[in-house]
Amino acid sequence: MTGPQTTRRKRANGVESRQRILDATVEIAGERGYDGTSIAAVSAKCGLPASSIYWHFKDKDDLIAAVIERSFETWLKAVELPGDDAGTPLERVVLMAGNVARSLLAAPDFLRLGLMLALERRPTEPRGRAVFLQVRDISHRRIAGIITDLFPSLTEDEVQTLTTYAVAGADGLFVHREVQGESVDLVALFELHARLIHDAAARTAARAGR
Amino acid sequence: MTGPQTTRRKRANGVESRQRILDATVEIAGERGYDGTSIAAVSAKCGLPASSIYWHFKDKDDLIAAVIERSFETWLKAVELPGDDAGTPLERVVLMAGNVARSLLAAPDFLRLGLMLALERRPTEPRGRAVFLQVRDISHRRIAGIITDLFPSLTEDEVQTLTTYAVAGADGLFVHREVQGESVDLVALFELHARLIHDAAARTAARAGR
Amino acid sequence: MTGPQTTRRKRANGVESRQRILDATVEIAGERGYDGTSIAAVSAKCGLPASSIYWHFKDKDDLIAAVIERSFETWLKAVELPGDDAGTPLERVVLMAGNVARSLLAAPDFLRLGLMLALERRPTEPRGRAVFLQVRDISHRRIAGIITDLFPSLTEDEVQTLTTYAVAGADGLFVHREVQGESVDLVALFELHARLIHDAAARTAARAGR
Amino acid sequence: MTGPQTTRRKRANGVESRQRILDATVEIAGERGYDGTSIAAVSAKCGLPASSIYWHFKDKDDLIAAVIERSFETWLKAVELPGDDAGTPLERVVLMAGNVARSLLAAPDFLRLGLMLALERRPTEPRGRAVFLQVRDISHRRIAGIITDLFPSLTEDEVQTLTTYAVAGADGLFVHREVQGESVDLVALFELHARLIHDAAARTAARAGR
DNA sequence: TATGAATGAGACTTCATTCAT
DNA sequence: AATGAATGAAGTCTCATTCAT
């Protein structure tokens, strides 16, 4: 720390440069989308010349995909795993939803950029889009698992529908907050969402249980 | 000269040219977003040279905004107004949701392009974004009106929350179908959405009524 | 005057339209030069569509040339012809210089635009440039005549040199005022200019007379 | 590799490329002015693609300003500093004027382009115009200093007026030669100019001295 | 007398990418 | 591990001009 601080830093530090580039890219791409993210803008924001970006990443596509991957991991770390014990199914579901909402507020880049990529349709799909869809498939399966655990009597089809509804609703609420701004209480909306889904599941399970 | 109208073509027809340009733009912008929509691409698709596009529209921003406006009107026409009589609140709400879902399948451009613009944050906001948000505010108010009519005992706050949830959920379901493709049964999801909201509203109203 | 004022004006008034176009052009060309003067800008300033400009003028070159011609005539009217009698040669010369200075202040467009055209060298010389140089040749000859009248003993060469010096100096002072702004007392500078030239002529004449 | 320096060409030589661009620009801008100088023309003349020009200069404005700066320096080098001793004030003044005239003939770009920029009035003033005016202010002050040295009894106001007249007259003579062509003997005109100013200064000083 | 519409050429500028060092 | 310099393609938009009405 008090060592050769002037000598260190600068002059070949691959890992840090890579991070700097990713940091800059996530910021720009999260605001401007794929086409709106220019290598020159990334270069300006991270301070490294454009050619250095190409040392770390094959091309723009590769860079964006890397951003998606890293921001997914960041987000994963932000989602606290729910204590599997807790209380009633409703309580547990609401708790989980609140956690997810909070994680999205803390690390919104993944979903924000992902949704932008997902909405766009370009001749040659960016790799980042595939990464996003694939990664979000994991979330889908995980939620389906939770629902199955909580309501074992539901059919596979019913679970799938509820899961789709849960994920899509979350997307919509997230978009709403991104568009409408900080005044939106995302946690409350997510909890409402969870409650409605729980009720629907419970009612369906009850009906099915007969 | 007085022959069939099919012969009449080429040379100075402002109204038709304008439509051709808008048609081309809506198609491209709906798939590629703001940055991805190049004037050259629009020109190629509509057959008019790029400079002609600038005779009809001040700049790209103006063009995109016009597209948003026109596609909103197209969509409005596609939404059938619900028969105000019908049966129970639940039946009516589900019917309306189905209608909206069908209208979005028939005319998806408005919401698709609008959501893309809404998610982007660029230094100088495109006018189209403002148009979209403003126009969607109208939808919000209309839905709030319907909920108030059906459940007069709800407080203003409760109506607002439910409306926000309804609109955001619809956005999410729409995005889901756009991303996942034609296999998604948007009508069914919208009807489920409507049912859950109805139940929530009914339960809240009942509790409040006590 | 109180007649059908609504009917009149508008609907085909060629003369007035021509004036409107020239008025707009002189303003723009006087500030921006040849290349900087776009037909679109002229159209916007005069309110007539670009195609109307081409009804009145063959092309841009023709328009600029017409502007030069008209502004020369305007300027000519602004120069008061000096009473040929008056007092001493010095008094008469100073009076004339003051008049010219005042005329340039009242109608600066001719010289301003002309100098801009004169300085530019383009592959195909604009006709306006030729008009300017030719018209200014008239001024040159007129001044040479005055000098010859006042100092008959000067040789043709001496008159030519003094005339060139007089005209060029006037250009320089005019440019100075255009660049430096209204704080410059152009009349005083022109009078100084005249005095110096007079003295030089007088001294040369005296030396020659011996 | 270690061969003659003529072989060394092509591929990445920033300094030389910058010079090539400036050389090309000064030639074009000196003839065509700001608007008449197209990046494409500069590119064609210097052999580098247009995009390379933008690596060396932020935009066209920056390029033109750089040209003004460099051509000023070139011109400064061309003006020989007058031996401060020499003979009578008249001789010294005439000598200086001749030197300036010769320097303008050798390096006319600075004044030529500068005057064109100075005459134009565009909505957003090119930076080059400001550079020119500011740099020419230096010349003004220097000349004022010389006049004060030679005629210490002149008032500040008298010095300023004579200086303004000197500079403006020089501009006018320069323009005259640019317009009229090589047949004009600029050195002779400048010497005449100097003589007239000297006489005026001497006479004013004499009158004041009484 | 006037104009709405069209058009190809060309303006400035940014793009993603490469390459030699 | 990094970067200065270069580059062709493409971006948005304006240009002067024409033509049918």
- Mutual angle of helices D14-36 and C14-36, in 10-degree steps: 160
Residue range D108-162, pLDDT digits in tens: 999 999 999 999 988 899 999 999 999 999 999 999 999 999 999 999 999 999 9
List of C residues 105-134 with CB within 7 A of strand F: none
pLDDT digits (tens, 9 = 90+) for B27-74: 999 999 999 999 999 999 999 999 999 999 999 999 999 999 999 999
* A52 CA – E18 C1', rounded, Å: 12
Rounded CA-CA distance B29/A120 in Å is 9
Closest nucleotide relative to residue C53's CA, C1' based: E2
Positions 31-60 in A, CB within 7 angstroms of strand E:
37-41, 50-51, 53-54, 59-60
In the block, tokens 């009248």 appear at C149
Average model confidence (pLDDT) across chain D: 90
CB contact burial A3-14 (16+ within 10 A = b; e otherwise)? eeeeeeeeeeee
| pLDDT tens for each residue of B99-134 | 999 999 999 999 999 999 999 988 899 999 999 999
In angstroms, the Cα distances linking A151 to A92, A159, B36, B188 are 13, 9, 45, 22
Q: Do B and A have ≥3 inter-chain CB pairs under 8 A?
A: yes
Cβ neighbours of residue A153 closer than 8 Å, sequence gap 6 or more: A205, A208, A209
Closest partner residue to A35 (CB to CB) among B33, B164, B192 is B33
Number of residues assigned to chain A: 210
Residue pLDDT, tens place only, A117-146: 999 988 889 999 999 999 999 999 999 999
- In SS3 terms, B149-183 reads as HHCCCCCHHHHHHHHHHHHHHHHHHHHHHHHHCCC
Exposure pattern of B42-72 as b/e (b: 16+ CB <10 Å)? Answer: bbeebebeeeebeebbeebbebbbbbbbbbb
D-chain residues within 8 Å CB-CB of C179?
118-119, 133
B154-185 burial, b at 16+ Cβ within 10 Å, e below that, comes to: beeebbebbbbbbbbbbbbbbbbbbbeeeebe
- D13 CA, F4 C1': separation in Å? 9
pTM of model > 0.85: yes
Closest nt to B35 (CA→C1')?
Answer: F11
Residue of C nearest to D167 (CA): C172
Indicate the pLDDT class of residue C85, thresholds 50, 70 and 90: low
| Radius of gyration for chain D, computed over Cα atoms and rounded to the nearest angstrom | 21
Protein residue at shortest CA distance from C1' of F19: B11
Residue of C nearest to D29 (CA): C120
Place of tokens 């220097």: D142
Residue C55's contacts (CB-CB under 8 Å, 6 or more residues apart) are none
Verify whether the Cβ–Cβ distance D36 to C200 is below 8 Å: no
Q: How many CA atoms lie within 13 A of B171 on its CB side?
A: 29
**Using an 8 Å Cβ cutoff, are A70 and A19 in contact?**
no
Residue A175 with chain B: CB contacts under 8 Å? 115, 118-119, 168, 171-172, 175
Among the partner-chain residues B32, B178, B199, the one whose CB lies closest to the CB of A122 is B32
Chain C neighbors (3+ CB pairs < 8 Å): D
Q: What is the pLDDT of residues A178-198, one digit of tens each?
A: 999 899 999 999 999 999 999
Run of H or E residues at B196: helix B186-209
Sequence-ordered alpha helix ranges (H) in C83-155: 89-106, 109-119, 127-150
- In the three-class reduction of DSSP (H, G, I as helix; E, B as strand; rest coil), residue D135 is classed as helix
Angstroms from C48 CA to nearest CA on chain D: 22
Query: In this structure, is the CB of residue A55 within 7 Å of any atom belonging to strand F?
Result: yes
Cβ atoms A96, A66 nearer than 8 A: no
Q: Helix, strand, or coil here: D49? A: coil
Residue A171 in contact with partner chain B when CB distance is under 8 A? yes
3-state secondary structure of A146: helix
What is the spatial distance between Cα C168 and Cα D193, in angstroms, rounded to a whole number? 11
- Contact check, Cβ <8 Å, A133/B179: yes
Mean pLDDT score of chain B: 90
Query: pLDDT, tens digit, for every residue of A27-57?
Result: 999 999 999 999 999 999 999 999 999 999 9
pLDDT (average), residues D30-37: 93
Q: Any idea what the Cα angle at residue A26 is, between residues A22 and A29, rounded to 5°? A: 125
